[in-house]
Amino acid sequence: MILGIETSCDETAAALVTNDGRVLANVVSSQAKLHARYGGVVPEVASRHHLELLLPAVRQAFDDSGTRLDQVERVAVTQGPGLVGALLIGVSAAKALAWARRLPLVPVNHLHGHVASLYLEPDPVEPPFLCLLASGGHTLLLDVRDRRTLEVLGTTLDDAAGEAFDKGARLLGLGYPGGVEIDRLASDGDPEAFSFPVARVPGLDFSFSGLKTALLYTVRDLGPEETEGLRADLAASYQHAIVRALVERAEAAAQATGAERIAVVGGVASNSELRRSFSNAVFAPPALCTDNAAMIASAARFIEPIPYPQYLALDAFA
C-alpha cells in the first residue's frame, strides 16, 4: 500500500493506493474559497494552510480506508513543479512519515502524476497514447509510450489553458476558479457570438496570450453595461476558442505520431465543452482531474523508490 501526498498548489491531498492501482482513499481539502477573495492563489497563504490541513487529511485517508500507518509500504510525494513553499510542506511531512517508519520514499513529478491518474482502477488506460495535459499551470502534449516514460511534443509559449480561463474570468468579472465559472456561464451563451483568435504557432506548441488580449480589448470596447448584458456570449465564445486550440493541436499531434488514442488529464479536462469536443478521447475521471494524491501514489508504482534514510536531503523544485 502506498501513501500519497500532494501539496503543489492550493489543494491539500492524501491518498492510499494499492500496488495494483485500487484507490482505497482519496482525500482532497481545497483552499479555492479561501483564495477566491484574492482572485487567485496567494503562495504564502497556501503554504500556511497546508501546514494546518495536511495531517488531518492523512488521518482522514486512513479512517476512510480502514487501514493503518503500519500497513504502508512506501510514501509518495509531489516533489515539483509547483509553488515551492507549498511543495516543501508536503515533502517535509512525507520525509518525516517515511523516516519514522523506516520506509522508502518516492518523489513524483506532478505532471507525471496527472498522466498516472489514467492508470488507476477500475478502468486503467494502457499506453501507448497521445496525452493532452491541460491545467492551471501547464498545457502539454505528451507522447506516452509506456507507464514509465513520456516525451513532450508541445507546450505553451505563454499562458497555460487553465491560466487563460482564470484571467478571462477576471476580465468578465467572474469568480475564482475561473474555469468553473466560465464553463457555467457559457452554457447560457452563444459560442459563435464573438470571433476570438486561436494563435497559430510553429510545431505543436500553444499560445493563449493573444486570445486573452482579444477578450480584454473586446470588453474595453463594449463598456461595462454592454459587457454585463453579453457576458454569457463572451464566456461561451472565449471558452470555444480555448477548447478549439486544445482539440486541434491534440488531433494534429496524434496524426503526426500515429497515435490511435488521445487521453486528456488535468484540471481543464473537467470542462464540459472540451469533453463534448473530443468524440473518441479518454478522459481522467472528474475526481482525478484536479490536483489529488491518488495520482501521485499511482505514479509512484512505476518509479524506483529512494531507500531509508537517503531521502532526507531531498528538496522540492518550483
Per-residue model confidence (pLDDT) at position 289: 96
Residue 272 confidence (pLDDT) above 90: yes
Is the pLDDT higher at 237 or at 40? 237
What domains appear along the chain, each with residue ranges and CATH number? 2-120+291-313 (3.30.420.40), 129-260 (3.30.420.40)
Pairing of β 105-109 and β 74-80: parallel
pLDDT of residue 199: 85
Average pLDDT taken over every residue of the chain:
96
On the CB side of 95, CA atoms within 13 Å amount to 15
pLDDT of residue 170: 94
Provide CB contacts within 8 A for 297, sequence distance 6+: 2, 3, 4, 15, 16, 17, 76
Which pLDDT does position 38 carry in this prediction?
A: 86
Residue with cell 477573495: 37
Per-residue pLDDT tens over the stretch 11-25: 999 999 999 999 999
Count the residues in the chain. 318
Compute the half-sphere exposure of residue 9: CA atoms within 13 Å on the CB side of its CA: 19
| Residue range 99-128, pLDDT digits in tens | 999 999 999 999 999 999 999 999 999 999
- Report percent pLDDT > 70 for the chain: 100
**How do strand 150-155 and strand 74-80 relate by DSSP bridges?**
unpaired
Tell me, what's the pLDDT at 112?
Answer: 97
Q: Is the pLDDT of residue 176 over 90?
A: no
Residue 175 pLDDT greater than 90, yes or no:
no
- Given a cut of 90, whether residue 173 has pLDDT beyond it is yes
- Extract the C-alpha cell encoding 182: 466560465
- The whole-number pLDDT of residue 256 equals 95
Asked whether the predicted pLDDT for residue 33 surpasses 90, the reply is no
Residue 155's beta-bridge partner residues?
A: 140
Say how many C-beta atoms besides its own lie within 10 A of residue 37's C-beta: 9
Cβ atoms of 144 and 132 within 8 Å: the answer is no
Across residues 165-177, what is the average pLDDT? 93
Segment 60-88 shows an average pLDDT of 98
Cα-Cα end-to-end distance for the chain: 28
The pTM for the full model equals: 0.95
Burial class of residue 38 in the structure, from the number of CB atoms within 10 Å of its CB (0-12 exposed, 13-18 middle, 19+ buried): exposed
Q: Residue 89: pLDDT band by 50, 70, 90 thresholds? A: very high
With beta carbons less than 8 A apart as the criterion, state whether 7 and 23 touch. Answer: no
Q: Note whether 312 and 33 are within 8 A (CB).
A: no
